[in-house]
Amino acid sequence: MNIDHYRAYISAETMMGPNSVRILAELFEKYPLRLAPDDAILDLGCGTGLTSLVIAKETGARVFANDLWVSAEENEKRFAEWGVDGQITPVCEDANNLTFTKKQFRALVSIDSYHYFAGRGGFFQEKILPFMTDGGEVLIGIPGLKDAYAGRAEELLCAWLGEDAHLFKTPKCWEEIIGDDSRIESVKTWEMECFGEAWDDWLATDHEFALGDRKYYETIIKPYTCFVGIYIRIRNN
């Protein structure tokens, strides 16, 4: 995947944090999705649909772009402007109450959102797994805590994140949270390599949240946090 192909779409208006396209690119490089045009992918927590655009272009599959904070109507307009409205279906649902068809998705991608709603054991088995096909794949990229600082999220991150500090967990912790199931073949977690570049892209914008993050980048964000990559393979029964 060549990130330069998407620079025209990456802006303060479409970004909602560190560059999601860079995070997605690393996931695709490590675990490429080989899909057919009639396969369905769920982009869970798609924000402004930037990741949905990239997923559609890179895989050629049908994308369902779901977000709770950005309306389906807003994303539908953006997809039409980008010329991908025929390939992407915008949805606005709570991740705890998805209403898709069972075993609908060959793949699921979630960038910079999964930690907001899935930080408890059993969530994946109850809320996500029923919608995944046998042999399906899940790719997640989220902010987290470096392994060296396990158990100290609130102490280290509170000045920056306040009551949301507890949402940041280590790669090892996320592996434990995902847990096991007879349908899960494997779970892999790691500290991603795109951290610096993704943050540089975000902090270079004039977005009001980026301006706030600048104050904490050198003292809190860079020393203690990382991006956690998660890959889950569903057993092909």
- Mean pLDDT in consecutive groups of 10 residues from the start of the chain, 237 residues: 89 92 97 94 97 96 96 96 95 96 97 96 96 98 96 96 96 97 97 97 94 96 98 94
In this predicted structure, what is the pLDDT of residue 4? 85
Asked whether residue 19 is assigned to any structural domain, the reply reads yes
Asked whether residue 163 is assigned to any structural domain, the reply reads no
Task: Judge whether 86 and 115 are in contact, CB under 8 Å.
Answer: no
Total tally of structural domains belonging to the chain: 1
**Given its phi and psi angles, is residue 224 left (phi above 0), alpha (psi -120 to 50 degrees) or beta?**
alpha
In this predicted structure, what is the pLDDT of residue 61? 96
Asked whether residue 218 is assigned to any structural domain, the reply reads no
Asked whether residue 157 is assigned to any structural domain, the reply reads no
- pTM for the model stands at 0.95
In this predicted structure, what is the pLDDT of residue 187? 98
Asked whether residue 82 is assigned to any structural domain, the reply reads yes
Domain at 16, CATH number = 3.40.50.150
Task: Judge whether 226 and 145 are in contact, CB under 8 Å.
Answer: yes
Backbone φ and ψ of 203, nearest 5°:
-70, -15
| Structural domain containing residue 82 | 3-147+170-205+226-234
In this predicted structure, what is the pLDDT of residue 1? 84
Task: Judge whether 191 and 227 are in contact, CB under 8 Å.
Answer: yes
In this predicted structure, what is the pLDDT of residue 110? 98
